[in-house]
Structure 1
Amino acid sequence: MSTKKTVFLTGATGNMGSATLAELVRRADRFRVKALVRPEERNHAVVKRFDGNPAVEWVWGDLTNVEDMRRGVAGVDQVLHIGGMVSPLADKFPERTMKVNVGGARNIVEAIKAAGQAETTSLVYIGTVAQTGHRNAPVHWGRTGDPIKISRFDQYAVSKTEAEAIVAQSGLKRWVSLRQTGIAHPNMWKIFDPIIFHNPFAGVFEWVTVGDSARLAANACEDAVPEAFWKQFYNIGGGEKLRVVNHEFARITARALGQKEAFASYLPHWSATRNFHGQWYADSDRLEEMVPFRSETLEDWAREMVAGMPALVRLIARWFPGVGRSRMEKLAKGPGGTLNWIANDDREHIDAYFGSREAWEKLPRDWADFEFRQPSREVSLLDHGYDTGKHEHDWTGDDLRSAAEFRGGKHLGALHDADSPTQFRCALGHEFAMTPRLYLKGGHWCPTCMIDQSSYDANKAANPFFAQVWPDVD
């Protein structure tokens, strides 16, 4: 009888998923993989690479099909749910995104239960930093339990928030939500989409490399994982050395290319100043302590990316960086681009991404006038409205009442345990049921208000918890 663990992997052809598949195959003495791939991707490079490998079994199917998920989870020890639609594609097809990301999570949970594996199959779910929205300085330090706050027009974050709630309230014996940050992967140079301009130069990210993400996913399947790892939320981050301001990230890329000027291909007023996502994590070391995975730096990533670029692309990028400016400007002026919003006086997008048209008008037109800010590297934590040092086994009704009042609402039910739903009322009067764990540890709050950005101003006035991350001025 085989002692190998069987892992069902979704998203096997994506950046993190394919790297995870390769990592698991390297551990073929301990794992066999059932890898989900859509039938139309039978000729994908990842399939060709691993086809015929005895450690890999292809599951031809789709996250939206519950029968496909039942075939996928049947008899497995662990599910690595990495697959789904991501931005920018996710925001262009919102209905499809909800079916894939929310429906997929629901189908996996239901399939595990239907197979009678709720006590034996562990589920690792990959969430996203986008769930907590833009966290510009001075609230650029974050930890799990901070308020879910979704940037406007971010359907991806809406879908991932709802999917996370399904997993966290699934009743499975072992589940975990790992909120992914920006993944530095070798194909980033190929990204050519207006979303490039949605990310503020003064914003921050605590990056992680795709290789380290893959090691994390694979390591989460090992027997050495402590029991305390499960039923928790974690921020995936590379740690102190991978905490950079976005303009620093641009310089790291430029150095790897041998460029003298990192910003020759665009101008400062082309990029948004808010309404994206990203933060430095005050708690990402907690995940590293539980399941060690870090081994790479942004410089490692940049060298690998440049090495994989065609020689002509490297040559042009190194010696003629300004050549790309007209191409980039055309992108910014196209559909979904920041300059397109300005040209069409699209106040809804302008207000969301710049604060106002007047604020955009004041932005510098030359890099010589741009302030390359350095936000504080001293950790600053938000107030969660209860004693976060308490173990969930020690929570009392007073903790839930205190947290609910800090959110401008009330706890209406009784506390049974961390994973039994109880009743709450939000600051705007909506009543809902939620597990204390999701409410306190996950930072989820009213399911109606949480994904409705039009309610955020009203919530700020009545919800001190949320007001910490919804300031008047960024």
Structure 2
Amino acid sequence: MENQTSRKRILLTGASGTVGFETLQHLVQHTDYEITVFDVKTQKSVKKLAPFKSRVEIVYGDISNKEQLLKVAQNKDVAIHLAAVIPPLADINPNLAYNVNVKGTENLIYALEKNSPECYLIFSSSISVYGDRIQNPEIIVSDVLQPSPGDQYGQTKVLCESLIRQSKLSWSIFRLAAIMGNHKISPLMFHMPLETPIEICTPKDTGRAFCKAIEHQEKLEKQIFNLGGGEDCVISYKSFLDKMFAEFGLGKADFPQKAFAEKNFHCGILKDGDDLDNILGFRQQNLKDYFQMVRHKIHPMQKKATFLFRSIIKKWLLSKSDPYKAHKKGNLKEMNHFFTQSEDKKLEKALL
């Protein structure tokens, strides 16, 4: 009979999220792992986690509540911390983003240092910490951290990284590329410049990386890595949008000029992304796999209906474009945020 004390005790936060759910599915394949999940209680999380009840201890709570974390952080060998408020909600409600992302991370560190001081903490940061890289899209870990103005999410991740590095725990930080999974077409899509080169990683590969990291602590600890899908996962944002629109039945992403921002977003190519894959060997999917996954999720009837109403849908989407609205209204402050050059005529009129 297996000695219970030899089993690795894993704590996973944010298990109902896109990456968290994939990580959980990889973790449960290891019979020698004793898994505790800590997540916020919503209809979605309860439904998603229900099938794991017999295999995993599920604890619902609030990560900004220090007392709840003290209980769940007892006697843990590894903590995979994926709980976070992400865009667009992080930008809409920056206080919530700060409480969950920063205070939550601070609480988790405190709880682990107190109740599991030997615990190995693996944290998901983001490519957004590097800010706007349109001019120099090739990114390495040692680059300056400079989230774009107004990027609440990126700012919280920088603060979280600092807290983790200053902690007494053993840790690793993975800065995630564009994780494409359950992304819905939303107004946020207009914030990324069309010429942005993006490197994606699928949720399945990302979850695999977090799971595999557990067994490679000695090669990873006290280090930061960029996590991306590699050269087979690089595409321009314009090409990505065109392919996505075609899959959904929307035709081409043929929006007017000034519909998309020209600066102040993030993404790029992770030039040192192979470093993590060389240790973990987590990459198994590429762009072709991703678009196939998208295709399988869209019902043919839904695609036909979307095609029939494509012009109305695109008109509605355009009405949600913040750059386009700023351009139409001649809002100089917002235009300066979204566009590289302010329009001289409008500027002259405003100054008259």
Distance 1:254 1:328, change over 3 A: closer
Secondary structure at the residue paired with 1:8? strand
Partner in structure 1 of residue 253 of structure 2: 263
Displacement of 1:30 after TM fit?
A: 2.3
Aligned partners of 1:7 and 1:31 also within 8 Å: yes
Distance 1:87 1:102, change over 3 A: same
Which residue type is aligned with residue 202 of structure 2?
T
Counterpart Cα distance in 1 of 2:282 and 2:214: 12
Distance 1:226 1:84, change over 3 A: closer
Secondary structure at the residue paired with 2:266? coil
Counterpart Cα distance in 2 of 1:63 and 1:128: 19
Displacement of 1:322 after TM fit?
A: 3.6
Counterpart Cα distance in 2 of 1:180 and 1:245: 18
Displacement of 1:267 after TM fit?
A: 2.8
Counterpart Cα distance in 2 of 1:121 and 1:83: 18
Consecutive unaligned residues in structure 1, runs of 5 or more: 362-474
Paired residues in the alignment total: 343
Partner in structure 1 of residue 77 of structure 2: 77
Aligned partners of 1:341 and 1:347 also within 8 Å: yes
Partner in structure 1 of residue 326 of structure 2: 341
Q: Which runs of structure 2 are paired with 1:57-136 in the superposition (5 Å)?
A: 57-115=57-115, 117-118=116-117, 120-136=118-134
Secondary structure at the residue paired with 2:337? helix
Consecutive unaligned residues in structure 2, runs of 5 or more: 347-352
Displacement of 1:21 after TM fit?
A: 1.1
> What is the percentage of aligned positions where both structures have the same residue?
25
Higher helix fraction (1 or 2): 2
| 1:229 aligns to 2:225 (yes or no) | no
Aligned partners of 2:249 and 2:304 also within 8 Å: no
Partner in structure 2 of residue 17 of structure 1: 20
Which residue among 233, 250, 257 is the counterpart of 2:241? 250
Counterpart Cα distance in 1 of 2:225 and 2:45: 35
| TM-score of the pair, normalised by structure 1 | 0.68
Counterpart Cα distance in 2 of 1:43 and 1:88: 19
Distance 1:276 1:360, change over 3 A: farther
Displacement of 1:47 after TM fit?
A: 2.3
Which residue type is aligned with residue 172 of structure 2?
V
Which residue type is aligned with residue 323 of structure 2?
T
Which residue type is aligned with residue 304 of structure 1?
M
Secondary structure at the residue paired with 2:104? helix
Q: Which runs of structure 2 are paired with 1:199-348 in the superposition (5 Å)?
A: 199-222=192-215, 225=216, 227-254=218-245, 256=247, 261-264=251-254, 266-317=255-306, 321-332=310-321, 337-348=322-333
Aligned partners of 1:127 and 1:180 also within 8 Å: yes
Q: Which runs of structure 2 are paired with 1:370-389 in the superposition (5 Å)?
A: none
CA-based RMSD: 2.1
Counterpart Cα distance in 1 of 2:309 and 2:328: 28
| TM-score of the pair, normalised by structure 2 | 0.91
Aligned partners of 2:113 and 2:168 also within 8 Å: no
Counterpart Cα distance in 1 of 2:80 and 2:275: 20
| 1:33 aligns to 2:35 (yes or no) | yes
Distance 1:42 1:246, change over 3 A: closer
Displacement of 1:40 after TM fit?
A: 4.0
Superposed CA deviations along residues 271-308 of structure 1, whole A, max 9, x for unmatched, are 00110001101100000011110000112111112211
Superposed CA deviations along residues 121-143 of structure 1, whole A, max 9, x for unmatched, are 10001101110101013x11010
Which residue type is aligned with residue 20 of structure 1?
T
Q: Which runs of structure 2 are paired with 1:362-373 in the superposition (5 Å)?
A: none
Which residue type is aligned with residue 209 of structure 1?
T
Distance 1:43 1:231, change over 3 A: closer
Distance 1:345 1:269, change over 3 A: closer
Aligned partners of 2:125 and 2:161 also within 8 Å: yes
| 1:158 aligns to 2:158 (yes or no) | no
Displacement of 1:338 after TM fit?
A: 1.7
